[in-house]
Chains A and B, each alone.
Chain A
């Protein structure tokens, strides 16, 4: 599968090739800051299939946390596009930045629901995890 997308102002663009490893919605408090309050809808894409094709994102990593994730956003319009987690090869792609978000389909699971807000909705039947799903 082939995905293209970018930020709102068009200054930063990316391409992602491969099959999504995971499609999910995250309810954690940190994600809520970035999304404006709603759950964060994301797709894990294989790292080797991902590349920036235009412009350069700015990155932010919390200096006060061990193994902090790094978040990439457009310095001009502030749109967050991806996150990278140390030790994880995959790129965590925000599906609102896809040229065609319908390629996302639907999330498979909801994670960090112990931090959810009253206005968050998880579809009936979707597996929910207080934190992360147990490792296999």
Chain B
């Protein structure tokens, strides 16, 4: 699978190649800040197949957490493009930044549903987990 995308203003562009490691929607309170309140719809792509092809992102991570995720966004239009999680070799891609979000299809799981609001919905047939799925 080959994906191209970028931020809203076009200042930052990326490409991602490989098979998705995870397709999900996250309901957690942290994600809600970045989505404007909705669920965060994401696709984890192999980090090795991901690269920026235009522009430079700004990175943000919390300094008060032991193992914080890093969130990368366009400094011009503020659009968040990916997150990176220590120990998970993936670029966690925000589906809304893909040139063709239909490539995403549907999420396989919904996570952190403990933090859901009434306006959050899980598509029929999608497995929901209060936190993360149990490790295999």
| Binary A-proximity of B64-83 (CB < 8 A = 1, otherwise 0) | 00000001011111111000
Tell me if A94 and B101 are in contact (CB < 8 A).
Answer: no
Q: What are the residues of chain A within 8 A of B30 when measuring CB–CB?
A: 8
Q: Tell me which of B8, B25, B76 contacts A119 (CB under 8 A).
A: B25
Q: What are the residues of chain B within 8 A of A98 when measuring CB–CB?
A: 37
Residue pairs across A and B with Cβ atoms less than 8 A apart, 8 shown, are A34-B96, A35-B35, A35-B96, A37-B101, A38-B35, A42-B36, A96-B33, A119-B95
Q: What are the residues of chain A within 8 A of B58 when measuring CB–CB?
A: 78
A84 within 8 Å of B (CB atoms): no
Q: How far is the CA of A7 from the CA of B60 in the complex (A)?
A: 12
A136 within 8 Å of B (CB atoms): no
Q: Report the stretch among B14-22, B48-56, B102-110 that lies at the interface.
A: B102-110
Tell me if A101 and B8 are in contact (CB < 8 A).
Answer: no
Q: What are the residues of chain A within 8 A of B32 when measuring CB–CB?
A: 96, 101
B131 within 8 Å of A (CB atoms): no
Tell me if B102 and A117 are in contact (CB < 8 A).
Answer: yes
Q: How far is the CA of A41 from the CA of B7 in the complex (A)?
A: 20
Tell me if A34 and B8 are in contact (CB < 8 A).
Answer: yes
Tell me if B38 and A39 are in contact (CB < 8 A).
Answer: yes
Q: How far is the CB of B7 from chain A (nearest CB, A)?
A: 7
Tell me if A106 and B119 are in contact (CB < 8 A).
Answer: yes
| Binary B-proximity of A2-36 (CB < 8 A = 1, otherwise 0) | 00000111000000000000000100001111111
Q: Report the stretch among A47-55, A68-76, A127-135 that lies at the interface.
A: A68-76
Task: Please classify how large the interface on chain A is, using the bins under 10, 10 to 19, 20 to 34, 35 or more.
Answer: 35 or more
Tell me if A60 and B9 are in contact (CB < 8 A).
Answer: yes
Tell me if A37 and B79 are in contact (CB < 8 A).
Answer: no
Tell me if A96 and B119 are in contact (CB < 8 A).
Answer: no
B86 within 8 Å of A (CB atoms): no
Tell me if A25 and B71 are in contact (CB < 8 A).
Answer: no
Q: How far is the CB of A111 from chain B (nearest CB, A)?
A: 14
Q: How far is the CA of A9 from the CA of B62 in the complex (A)?
A: 8
Which A residues between 95 and 126 are near B, CB-CB below 8 angstroms?
A: 95-98, 101-102, 104-107, 117-119, 121, 123
Beta-carbon nearest neighbor of A102 in chain B: B117
Q: How far is the CB of A75 from chain B (nearest CB, A)?
A: 7
Tell me if A119 and B107 are in contact (CB < 8 A).
Answer: yes
| Binary A-proximity of B108-125 (CB < 8 A = 1, otherwise 0) | 000000000111010100
